[in-house]
Structure 1
Amino acid sequence: MYAEERRRQIASLTAVEGRVNVTELAERFDVTAETIRRDLAVLDKEGVVHRVHGGAVASRSFQTAEFTLDTRQRSASGAKAAIARAALDFIPHGSASIFLDAGTTINALADLIGQRYNNEQVSIVSNSLPIALSLASNGVPNVQLLGGTVRAITQAVVGDTALRTMALMRADVAFIGTNALTLDHGLSTADPQEAAIKSVFVTNANKVVVLCDSSKLGNDYLVSFAAIGDIDVVVTDAGIPQSFIDALSEREIDVVVADE
């Protein structure tokens, strides 16, 4: 396992469990305690966890920081590709309408859709410039890009014009990305305008499939846009703790763990 993947799993485990122990982590990942201490030092520097004697505890502050699209695309790229492949199974057979919101994991899904569904059967609505471009480049004919204001950092379309258009639309499935997922606060993100679009995508779809790599589990961002009860499926990677799978299953949410 690469260091980045191990640290992502440690971050997720810490966020979900609240506290982790160096010795237990070393046994879990079959590495030395010193390796784990270096991992925790990196995560502490990034603000993901707080180092304490013998281990680390979760950072409980509401996050506001956003990274550029390019930076987010490089982060956990293997997990995102695997999650996108697994999410394809939730596209209905035959004629279907789907929402794709803005996000790098959703972008990976859009690339796969473009390669497999470039026909008249799938109608797609998105508020993401990169996703619309990817689909159009692959010859997908029925793609609607919402109009409105473009946020430079995420290249997502937001604002009143987009919201008015969305009020008239419905979809069989909404594929939703998120900055964070917790049992208490559901899905959250940094920007209220993007949160507003995501919220309408969730509300106006018959089924909500969340694409979320495990580093986002247990974290909280400033703006909540959907409750845990609004979710039907979570597609994630092998870094998800079993306790989190059990908690989601108890709430009748299907959990799909994608193989990288």
Structure 2
Amino acid sequence: MYAEERQQAMAQLIGQEGRLSVAHLAGTFEVTTETVRRDLSSLERIGLVRRVHGGAVPSSSLSVIESALGERDQSNISAKDAIAAAALGQLPPPASVVVIDAGSTTVRLAAVLPREHRLSVVTHAVPIAARLAGLPHIDLHLLPGRVRPTTHAAVGTDTVAALAELRADVAFVATNGLSAEFGLTTPDRDEAATKRAIVACARRTVVLADSSKIGVETPVRFAALRDIDVLVTDSGISESDRTSLEKAGLEVVVA
């Protein structure tokens, strides 16, 4: 089989199967993994596939365009509400410091924080700050930075610098994608830098992600699974995904 024929067949197979590893493709086409990687690079250049960690997916399945916050807030509403309620079980004792990351699920967590539980809350998310401002049981701290219109979250060097000076008890983090192979990802580099700093400043990190995010990889990684303590998700998670995440050392809480 000529290289062009192999690459065409490879692109068709990836389109049919959704995601295939380099090792699987090497076995299927009886070539070395180095040859597969070269083929995938060629296919990515012409837009037929998109490389991901350890393999490739169809170009249509991995969008680098972020949904606006309002659009994301209307998807998987019941699952996100259940996740927020279950995440209350991960709150540290009263008078602790928590960081709440920007996201459509984390904003729901902010809305259900119990009034009898006093907390210092640090956030870079304008919608979360708006929900918590003025509440007597919340000592609210809003991080500096440039506010992105897509996520309504402060990002940039000032945000990261402020987080570097902080020591939090628990960070509640949102993500665009989570996979056992590549960890936690988001499309924007500034957003990733802020999330990375949030994870780094906390003694314990809890990820809130509905099951549609599991197995998804977006372009910029901000944390490996070893950096995360708990995933709170919904009952749509598959048994195989749950098993692989738990084998990687992650505690999985199903709402």
Which residue number in structure 2 is paired with residue 196 of structure 1?
Answer: 193
| C-alpha contact 1:63 1:220 (8 A) present in aligned 2 | no
Which residue number in structure 1 is paired with residue 48 of structure 2?
Answer: none
| C-alpha contact 1:129 1:156 (8 A) present in aligned 2 | yes
2:213 to 216, 235, 238: 216
- CA offsets, 1:110-159, max 9 Å, x none? 0011xx1366x311110100000101154444111101100011100011
2:240 pairs with 1:249: no
Give 1 or 2 for the bigger CA radius of gyration.
Answer: 2
Which residue number in structure 2 is paired with residue 72 of structure 1?
Answer: 72
Q: Provide structure 2 residue ranges, at least 5 long, that are not aligned to the other structure.
A: 1-16, 22-55
Which residue number in structure 2 is paired with residue 186 of structure 1?
Answer: 183
Which residue number in structure 2 is paired with residue 161 of structure 1?
Answer: 158
How many aligned positions are there? 204
- 2:74, 2:19 → 1: CA distance? 24
- The secondary structure found in structure 2 opposite 1:220 is coil
Aligned amino acid, residue 230 of structure 1: D
- The secondary structure found in structure 1 opposite 2:252 is strand
| C-alpha contact 1:187 1:227 (8 A) present in aligned 2 | yes
| C-alpha contact 2:19 2:58 (8 A) present in aligned 1 | no
Change (3 A) 1:140 1:178: same
- Once the two structures are aligned, what percentage of the paired residues are identical? 41
- The secondary structure found in structure 2 opposite 1:125 is strand
- 1:85, 1:15 → 2: CA distance? 33
Offset, 1:252: 2.0
Which residue number in structure 1 is paired with residue 115 of structure 2?
Answer: 117
Which stretches of structure 1, 4 residues or more, deviate above 6 A after TM superposition?
14-18
Offset, 1:102: 0.5
- CA offsets, 1:171-229, max 9 Å, x none? 11110000000111100001110110100111111111000000011011011100011
Q: Provide structure 1 residue ranges, at least 5 long, that are not aligned to the other structure.
A: 1-13, 19-56
- The secondary structure found in structure 2 opposite 1:104 is coil
| C-alpha contact 1:16 1:241 (8 A) present in aligned 2 | no
Larger RCO (CA under 8 A, 6+ residues apart): 1
- 2:208, 2:234 → 1: CA distance? 10
2:143 pairs with 1:171: no
Change (3 A) 1:220 1:145: same
Aligned amino acid, residue 247 of structure 1: S
| C-alpha contact 2:103 2:174 (8 A) present in aligned 1 | yes
| C-alpha contact 1:87 1:211 (8 A) present in aligned 2 | yes
Which residue number in structure 1 is paired with residue 95 of structure 2?
Answer: 95
Offset, 1:95: 2.1
| C-alpha contact 1:118 1:138 (8 A) present in aligned 2 | no
TM-score normalized with structure 1 length: 0.74
Change (3 A) 1:150 1:110: same
| C-alpha contact 2:121 2:141 (8 A) present in aligned 1 | yes
> How large is the RMSD of aligned CA atoms in angstroms?
2.1
2:117 pairs with 1:127: no
Which residue number in structure 2 is paired with residue 45 of structure 1?
Answer: none
- The secondary structure found in structure 1 opposite 2:133 is helix
| C-alpha contact 1:16 1:218 (8 A) present in aligned 2 | no
- 2:97, 2:215 → 1: CA distance? 31
- CA offsets, 1:225-252, max 9 Å, x none? 0001111100001110001111111122
- 1:140, 1:15 → 2: CA distance? 48
- CA offsets, 1:23-70, max 9 Å, x none? xxxxxxxxxxxxxxxxxxxxxxxxxxxxxxxxxx96576431111111
